[in-house]
Structure 1
Amino acid sequence: MEWEFNSYYTLIAATAVLLSGKWLVGKIRFLRDFNIPEPVAGGLIAAMILFALHQFYGVSFKFEKPLQDAFMLIFFTSIGLSADFSRLKAGGLPLVVFTVVVGIFIAVQNLVGVGLASAFGLEPMIGLLTGSIALTGGHGTAGAWGATMEKLGIVGATGLGIASATFGLVFGGIIGGPVARRLINKQGRKPTNAETLSAGTNDDNTDDVFEKAVRPRLITADSAIETLAMFAASIAFGQIMDTIDSTYFPGWMNLPKFVWCLFGGVVLRNILTSAFKMNMFDRAIDVFGNASLSLFLAMALLNLKLWELTDLAGPVTVILLVQTVVMMVYATFVTYVFMGRDYDSAVLAAGHCGFGLGATPTAVANMQSITNTFGPSHKAFLIVPMVGAFFVDIINAVILSGFLNFLK
Structure 2
Amino acid sequence: MTIYLDMIQSLALATGLLFFGKFVKRRIHFFQKYCIPSPVIGGLIFSVLVFICHEFGWLYINFNTTLQDFFMIAFFTTVGYNASIKPLKQGGKHIFIFLVLIACLIICQNIIALGIGKLLNVPPLLSLCTGSIPMVGGHGSAGAFGPTIKAMGVDGATSVAIASATFGLVAGSAIGGPIAKRLIEKKNLYKEVEHRLDDPDIEDSVSGFKEFIASGFSYGFYQIVIAMGLGTLVSYVLKLTGLKFPSYIGAMLVAAAIRNYSDFTGKFKVYFMEIQEIGEASLSFFLSMALMTLELWTLSNLALPMLILLASQLILMMLFSRFVIFKYMGKDYDAAVMTAGACGFGMGATPNAMANMQSIVDKYAPSPQAFLVVPIVGALFIDFLNSLIITGFISFF
TM-score band w.r.t. shorter chain? 0.7 to 0.9
Cα offsets for 1:198-222 (capped at 9, x unmatched): x9968xxxxx35xxxxxxx4422x4
Match of 2:253 in 1: 263
Query: Structure 1 residues 271, 133: CA separation in 2 closer, same or farther (over 3 Å shift)?
Result: closer
Shift of residue 299 of structure 1?
A: 1.7
Shift of residue 365 of structure 1?
A: 5.4
Q: Is the 8 A contact 1:351 1:364 kept in 2?
A: yes
Q: Is the 8 A contact 1:115 1:124 kept in 2?
A: no
Alignment of 1:46-65 (within 5 A): 46-65=46-65
Match of 1:71 in 2: 71
Shift of residue 41 of structure 1?
A: 2.5
Match of 2:194 in 1: none
Shift of residue 249 of structure 1?
A: 0.9
Q: Is the 8 A contact 1:21 1:41 kept in 2?
A: yes
Cα offsets for 1:23-46 (capped at 9, x unmatched): 222211222233333232323222
Shift of residue 167 of structure 1?
A: 2.5
Shift of residue 294 of structure 1?
A: 1.8
Cα offsets for 1:229-281 (capped at 9, x unmatched): 101111112111111111x2114xx4433232222112223334544543443
For residue 69 of structure 1, give the secondary structure of its aligned residue in structure 2: helix
Match of 1:223 in 2: 216
Match among 172, 176, 201 for residue 176 of structure 1: 172
Alignment of 1:24-173 (within 5 A): 24-120=24-120, 122=121, 125=124, 128-129=127-128, 132=131, 135=134, 138=142, 141=145, 158-173=154-169
Match among 283, 295, 316 for residue 293 of structure 1: 283
For residue 335 of structure 2, give the secondary structure of its aligned residue in structure 1: coil
Identity of aligned residues (%): 23
Match among 294, 304, 308 for residue 294 of structure 2: 304
Aligned-partner residue type, residue 322 of structure 2: F
In structure 1, C-alpha distance between the alignment counterparts of 2:272 and 2:119, rounded to whole Å: 51
Moved more, 39-48 or 81-90: 81-90
Q: Is the 8 A contact 1:116 1:127 kept in 2?
A: no
Query: Structure 1 residues 69, 24: CA separation in 2 closer, same or farther (over 3 Å shift)?
Result: same
Q: Is the 8 A contact 2:98 2:373 kept in 1?
A: no
Aligned-partner residue type, residue 16 of structure 1: G
Aligned-partner residue type, residue 17 of structure 1: L
Match of 2:322 in 1: 333
Shift of residue 181 of structure 1?
A: 4.9
Match among 242, 259, 263 for residue 250 of structure 1: 242
Unpaired segments of 5 or more residues in structure 2?
136-140, 191-202
In structure 2, C-alpha distance between the alignment counterparts of 1:11 and 1:371, rounded to whole Å: 36
In structure 2, C-alpha distance between the alignment counterparts of 1:111 and 1:82, rounded to whole Å: 27
Alignment of 1:238-387 (within 5 A): 238-246=231-239, 248-251=240-243, 254-310=244-300, 312-326=301-315, 328-330=317-319, 332-334=321-323, 337=326, 338-339=328-329, 340-354=334-348, 363-364=349-350, 366-367=352-353, 377-387=371-381
For residue 311 of structure 2, give the secondary structure of its aligned residue in structure 1: helix
Question: Does 1:23 pair with 2:33?
Answer: no
Q: Is the 8 A contact 2:75 2:283 kept in 1?
A: yes
In structure 1, C-alpha distance between the alignment counterparts of 2:283 and 2:83, rounded to whole Å: 17
Q: Is the 8 A contact 1:35 1:366 kept in 2?
A: yes
For residue 3 of structure 1, give the secondary structure of its aligned residue in structure 2: strand
Q: Is the 8 A contact 1:143 1:158 kept in 2?
A: no
Match of 1:152 in 2: none
Moved more, 84-93 or 22-31: 84-93
Give the TM-score, by structure 2 length. Answer: 0.74
For residue 333 of structure 1, give the secondary structure of its aligned residue in structure 2: helix
Q: Is the 8 A contact 1:331 1:353 kept in 2?
A: no
For residue 257 of structure 1, give the secondary structure of its aligned residue in structure 2: coil
Match among 225, 228, 243 for residue 235 of structure 1: 228
Q: Is the 8 A contact 2:77 2:228 kept in 1?
A: yes
For residue 284 of structure 2, give the secondary structure of its aligned residue in structure 1: helix
Match of 2:199 in 1: none
In structure 2, C-alpha distance between the alignment counterparts of 1:160 and 1:371, rounded to whole Å: 34
Q: Is the 8 A contact 2:35 2:351 kept in 1?
A: no
Give the TM-score, by structure 1 length. Answer: 0.73
Cα offsets for 1:286-342 (capped at 9, x unmatched): 2211211222222221122212212x2455334333244335524643565245534
In structure 1, C-alpha distance between the alignment counterparts of 2:237 and 2:393, rounded to whole Å: 23
Shift of residue 54 of structure 1?
A: 2.2
Aligned-partner residue type, residue 160 of structure 2: S
Aligned-partner residue type, residue 30 of structure 1: F
In structure 1, C-alpha distance between the alignment counterparts of 2:284 and 2:143, rounded to whole Å: 17
